[in-house]
Amino acid sequence: MDSLSQDKLTKFHIQAIFSAQRDQAASVAQTTAAQRIEKLKQLRAYILNHLDDIQNALYADFKKPASEVLIGEISALTGELNHTIKHLKQWMKPQRVPTTLSFVGTSSQIYYEPKGVVLIISPWNYPFALAIKPLISAIAAGNVAVIKPSELTPHTSAEIRKMLEFLFPKEEVAVVEGDAEVAQVLLELPFNHIFFTGSTAVGKLVMAAAAKHLASVTLELGGKSPCIVDQTADVRATAQRVAWGKCINNGQTCIAPDYLLVHQSVKGPFMEAYQQAIQQMYNPDGKGIEASESYARIVNQRHYQRLRALLDDALSKGARITQGGMTNEADCFVEPTVLENVNDSMQLMQEEIFGPLLPVIPYETKEDVIQHISQRGKPLALYIHSRHEPTIQYFLKNTTAGDTVINEVLMHFANPELPFGGVNGSGIGKSNGFFGFQEFSNARGVMRRQFGTLKFIYPPYTAKVKKLIGYMTRYL
């Protein structure tokens, strides 16, 4: 079959799935809380009963350690599922809201109704969790969904397809695998909502495609998430947290600490503690980090070469490697690496690193920190490590970020009570718990007249009516 006919077949197949889902959307929208909860329970049971398959798929894709699969992929899903199952009935109830005195005699409520047919485009770095987590919210809100998983993690994508084909008819949940051309075909369709996780550059393309159909979007992007360590921080504990947050999944985490702003007075002790933490985590037996079964790999050669280019560019412009630096192209291995003497001319200070390279920038005053952060786009996450509450509040009030974590890293993503998402260049919209349910819903305002009338302000606008309107405008 030639490429043209194959393209036509792909478009026909995708269009057929979309049409079937559009026909089914109204029926799924009428499902009860109990019916949606049952779907989520079945999803949870499948995940827990097939942990080995999921772990094996992720290891095959980029040697992700089994424990990191549980930490970074599964626990976030089971937590989200448990929370949604517990609260969905309450979320789906009409929410009564106050009505101002101007509208005495009426009552007001918010009804949450599903948006309809939704598209979820998921990334490769946490390919299982970031495909299924938005699906949980989509199902909870009563939508039908198409998932387009990443082609860069084919084993995990196949596992997702196998699971969802077992659990759902394709007119409710369908998986479409393929590359960027397949994604482009999907984006040409008039979905009611698109949930995309990935780079800012691609996020702009997704938003432009959605605009053609006036579809709403959730964009979970990224950016350079700063990590501040002030002179009051617990140096040892903070170094361990930063080392873990930077190196889990080999740094391929959208909310990983991207670069470090450390107070000059604690820079030396912190860097020593950071090196100790890296060795304790990934080289406890002295065989070398490359031999560690706890350290993942860069997903493919293209991304390995991107990181290698960032490293070479920084070194050519005066950066110094003070820890790590070893790479192995054949194994897509990049050692946890600390770079000092960095500056803004370097590519790794201009774009999200998405790997285990940690640029370190010493500072002397809080104002230095704010100036440095404000020169960049609004980050997806901001990390503050301090035991001085006024300093913490200063950083909170003088920065903006999708989310902020104090004296910890990464953990906010897995808390279903917190909204997760970026701002402007780091994202649009929020997920997690009720916020995810809300994202996939239309908040429909409903006002009901129960008694009384407003006919006393109807035309003709006599002097008496004008006086009443003036009174209402000023005082009600």
pLDDT digit string, tens, across residues 243-297: 999 999 999 999 999 999 999 999 999 999 999 999 999 999 999 999 999 999 9
CA dist., res. 279 & res. 289, Å (int): 8
| Residues 346, 350, 354, 358, Cα dihedral to 10° | 50
pLDDT (0 to 100) of residue 3: 43
What's the mean per-residue pLDDT of the chain? 95
pLDDT (0 to 100) of residue 472: 87
Averaged pLDDT for residues 414-437: 96
Comparing 2-16, 28-42, 119-133, the range with the smallest average pLDDT is 2-16
pLDDT (0 to 100) of residue 102: 85
pLDDT (0 to 100) of residue 39: 98
pLDDT digit string, tens, across residues 76-113: 999 999 999 999 999 999 999 998 888 899 999 999 99
pLDDT (0 to 100) of residue 4: 43
Catalytic residue among 73, 220, 352, 439: 220
Assess whether 247 carries a catalytic annotation.
no
Catalytic residue among 68, 159, 227, 254: 254
pLDDT digit string, tens, across residues 116-172: 999 999 999 999 999 999 999 999 999 999 999 999 999 999 999 999 999 999 999
- Whether 228 has a pLDDT exceeding 80, the answer reads yes
- Whether 20 has a pLDDT exceeding 60, the answer reads yes
pLDDT digit string, tens, across residues 338-375: 999 999 999 999 999 999 999 999 999 999 999 999 99
154 token code pair: 């084919």
Averaged pLDDT for residues 380-409: 97
Query: Is residue 441 within 8 Å of 111, Cβ to Cβ?
Result: no
Averaged pLDDT for residues 220-238: 96
Burial code (b: 16+ CB inside 10 Å, e: under 16) for 269-292 equals: ebbebbbebbeebbbeeeeebbee
Assess whether 254 carries a catalytic annotation.
yes
Neighbour tally for 220: CB within 10 Å: 27
- Whether 1 has a pLDDT exceeding 80, the answer reads no
CA dist., res. 471 & res. 467, Å (int): 6
Q: Over pLDDT 90: what percentage of the chain?
A: 93
In 3D, which of 453, 455, 452, 457 has the Cα closest to residue 469?
Answer: 457
Pairing of strands 144-148, 117-121: parallel
Residue with tokens 């397809």: 161
CA dist., res. 291 & res. 121, Å (int): 34
CA dist., res. 133 & res. 178, Å (int): 20
List, in sequence order, every residue forming a beta bridge with 301; answer none if it has no partner: none
389 token code pair: 């509450």
Neighbour tally for 155: CB within 10 Å: 17
User: Which pLDDT band, with edges at 50, 70 and 90, does 8 fall under?
Assistant: low
Neighbour tally for 109: CB within 10 Å: 15
pLDDT digit string, tens, across residues 166-215: 999 999 999 999 999 999 999 999 999 999 999 999 999 999 999 999 99
pLDDT digit string, tens, across residues 37-68: 999 999 999 999 999 999 999 999 999 999 99
In 3D, which of 98, 102, 97 has the Cα closest to residue 454?
Answer: 102
Q: Going from the N-terminus, what domains does the chain have, and what CATH number goes with each? A: 3-221+427-445 (3.40.605.10), 226-421 (3.40.309.10)
List, in sequence order, every residue forming a beta bridge with 220; answer none if it has no partner: 197, 427
